[in-house]
Chains A and B, each alone.
Chain A
């Protein structure tokens, strides 16, 4: 019976119900989109790292696990690595940051192609001339580039020679030697990807190399890929915390406002219920249920809207961001929102519960 009243009340003010739900949902969407982008981008990075086809990677001393790094390793290390007898292929990579999170990668085209099993070109083909650049399909889509288009970066124009299927470490690649020249870093590389004759020996080879190169972080690719997790990104975790707090505040304010006005608007109805013998608990229960229902509808809206943000990201900035749908966060985000909503209804509900039946019946 109480649910009927709650349902009828929500139906009675459809615009209020819709707007409240959408506003509550916005908090849910914020959380889901952020967590989804975090997970999506890490997953995408892991996929691209896997796409290199290496068994292990040697990185520069002092570089972070997840970050891309810079041109800070002496190329001579490459000779040492190549000299190891289990190593069938070792190829250097140069990374140059072009501002923000975007970077450009220098490769030895033929070695890199051999290790990764070859590029699958959607259009065009390999790097040949010194001012050639190859880009992946997502980057091409986001920047609206075609084969033959000019791409301006590092203070010069590059000609797009090929567009490959995403999944090969980087989105934008140029010849390594050209990158070194432009960055004034001849003889410097960022990391070395290594393929072994037998992947089962990976750990043994790493142990042996570490004897000779004690300062160099050397990771098995499988290990490295496992490191791509939100737990290794304290900044992201902190940011998620901020957004979660915002969402709680959102739910709180929206519900506070919606229910506060509802209580004012329903002074008479509350008085009637009290005249009929409803105690404070009964009145409280009605408002609480209405709030829980709003929060549930809001959460569903929020989940639906998170598909909307994913679509927007995939359509307009596919190369810069990837949003995953993280199902495990559906209940988390919903419960967080519900907590905010319940905090928000407390004051209006107590006001209603304490309301004098007589005052409200003489109310016009």
Chain B
């Protein structure tokens, strides 16, 4: 079953008088439970694609569906709902709230989604898997980069999003920590069936995925 269907997606930024064509007709179908790697040169449009998929910015034209729901016609409120309920983001910079503990960083994502029931057994297992179950009361600055990124992953999936979007999740990590995070993403994908899309520059990282596509000048090609 296809969870993402993208057809002829275009995104044009206006910066000053010049039009920047970041996406020039992207076509992509991602199956539910797939782990997809997106590679490509800097500036080729990878992040832009993720931002549109995650509802952070609207597309210029084309159609895009997540879980059968069309994003093309969504207004700002609709995109807010999409971010809240259907996607989880992991960024290169871990982007945790610095004043909150690990537990509260995770809980605020649930609070935003309007959920208050205690964490279920599956999620507790995920925390064990991520190796942060013993560090819930620490603040982000008391964690290593790898640990912070694992917290960000936990936070991204706590609301069981349809897709997890990871934009260079290992960009700031050394090999050891990278491999740990990548292992975890794959494990998560295999164990819970979480659909994962990951941007990376690193061919070794891409090897953790089921399939790799390449972005070239705003167009996607199978690698």
Q: A1-B108, A1-B111, A268-B95 are in contact. Are A275 and B89 (CB under 8 A)?
A: yes
Partner of B80, one of A4, A8, A12, A279: A279
Q: Which of B51, B84, B100, B104 contacts A276 (CB 8 A)?
A: B84
Are the C-beta atoms of B56 and A269 separated by less than 8 Å?
no
- Closest chain-A Cβ to B83's Cβ sits at a distance in Å of 4
User: In residues 99-116 of chain B, which contact A (Cβ within 8 Å)?
Assistant: 99-100, 104, 107-113
Least Cβ–Cβ distance between A291 and chain B, in angstroms: 17
When the two chains form their complex, are residues B109 and A276 in contact, meaning their CB atoms are under 8 A apart?
Answer: yes
Whether the pair A277, B104 counts as a contact (CB closer than 8 A) is no
Question: Does B85 have its Cβ within 8 Å of any Cβ on chain A?
Answer: yes
Residues of chain A within 8 A of B91, CB atoms compared: 275, 361
8 Å CB contact of B84 from A8, A9, A277, A358? A277
Instruction: Determine whether A278 belongs to the interface, using a CB cutoff of 8 Å to chain B.
Output: yes
Interface flag for B81 (CB, 8 Å): yes
The reply to whether A272 and B97 form a contact with Cβ atoms under 8 Å apart is yes
Interface status of A274 (Cβ within 8 A of chain B): yes
**How many CB-defined contacts (below 8 Å) exist between A and B?**
70
Cβ B84 vs Cβ A2 within 8 A: no
In the complex, B27 has a CB within 8 A of chain A: no
* Interface flag for B77 (CB, 8 Å): yes
Asked whether A1 lies within 8 Å of B107 as measured between CB atoms, the reply is yes
* Docked complex Cα distance between A91 and B186 (Å): 102
- Asked whether any CB of chain B lies closer than 8 Å to the CB of A282, the reply is yes
CA distance A256 to B89 in the complex (A): 32
**Quick check: A4 and B56 within 8 Å, CB to CB?**
no
CB proximity of B48 to chain A, nearest CB, Å? 10
Q: Which residues of B contact A11 (CB under 8 A)?
A: 99
Report if B61 contacts A (CB, 8 A).
no
Chain A residues within 8 Å of B108, by CB: 1-2, 5, 273, 276
B97 and chain A: residue at smallest CB distance: A269
With A and B bound together, what is the CA distance between A340 and B68 in angstroms?
48
Q: Which residues of B contact A272 (CB under 8 A)?
A: 95-97
Chain A residues whose CB sits within 8 angstroms of the CB of B100 once the complex forms = 4-5, 8
Contact B112 A277 (CB under 8 A): yes
Interface size class of B (residues with CB under 8 A): 20 to 34
User: Which residues of chain B are near A361, meaning CB under 8 Å?
Assistant: 56, 91, 95
A357 lies within 8 A of chain B by Cβ = yes
B80 touches A277 (CB 8 A): yes
Please name all residues of chain B whose beta carbon is closer than 8 Å to the beta carbon of A8 when the two chains form the complex. 99-100, 104
Contacts of B96 in A (CB 8 A): 272
Q: Mark A259-279, 1 if CB is under 8 A from B, else 0.
A: 000000000110111111111
By the criterion CB–CB under 8 Å, are B112 and A5 in contact?
A: no
Task: Give the complex CA separation of A11 and B99 in angstroms.
Answer: 9
In which size bucket is the chain A interface? 20 to 34
B179 CB within 8 Å of chain A? no
* Shortest CB distance B104–A (Å): 6
CA distance A271 to B54 in the complex (A): 13
The contact of B99 among A12, A277, A278, by CB within 8 Å, is: A12
**Which residues of chain A are near B112, meaning CB under 8 Å?**
273, 276-278, 282
- The CA of A282 and the CA of B109, in the complex, are separated in Å by 12
* Chain A residues whose CB sits within 8 angstroms of the CB of B63 once the complex forms: none
- Evaluate contact between B83 and A275: CB separation under 8 angstroms: yes
A276: min CB distance to chain B, Å? 5
Name the distance in Å between A12's Cβ and chain B's nearest Cβ. 5
Known: A4-B104, A277-B81, A277-B113. A358 touches B57 (CB 8 A): yes
- Decide: A358 near B77, CB < 8 A? Known: A11-B99, A277-B112: no
Give the residues in chain B near A278, CB-CB below 8 Å: 80, 84, 112
Nearest residue, chain B, Cβ from A277: B84
Chain A residues with CB below 8 A from B110, complex form: 1
> Is A358 a contact partner of B56 (Cβ separation < 8 A)?
yes
Question: Residue on A with the closest CB to B111?
Answer: A1
Closest to A271 in B: B95
Having A276-B108, A277-B112, A279-B77, one finds 7 other A-B pairs with CB under 8 Å, namely A5-B104, A8-B104, A12-B99, A277-B80, A277-B83, A279-B84, A282-B112
Kindly list the 3 A-B residue pairs having the minimum CB-CB distance in the complex, ordered from nearest.
A277-B84, A1-B111, A8-B99
29 A-B contacts (beta carbon < 8 Å): A1-B104, A1-B108, A1-B110, A1-B111, A4-B100, A5-B97, A5-B100, A8-B99, A9-B99, A12-B99, A269-B98, A273-B97, A273-B108, A273-B112, A274-B83, A275-B56, A275-B83, A276-B83, A276-B84, A276-B89, A276-B112, A277-B82, A277-B109, A277-B112, A278-B112, A279-B84, A357-B56, A358-B56, A358-B57
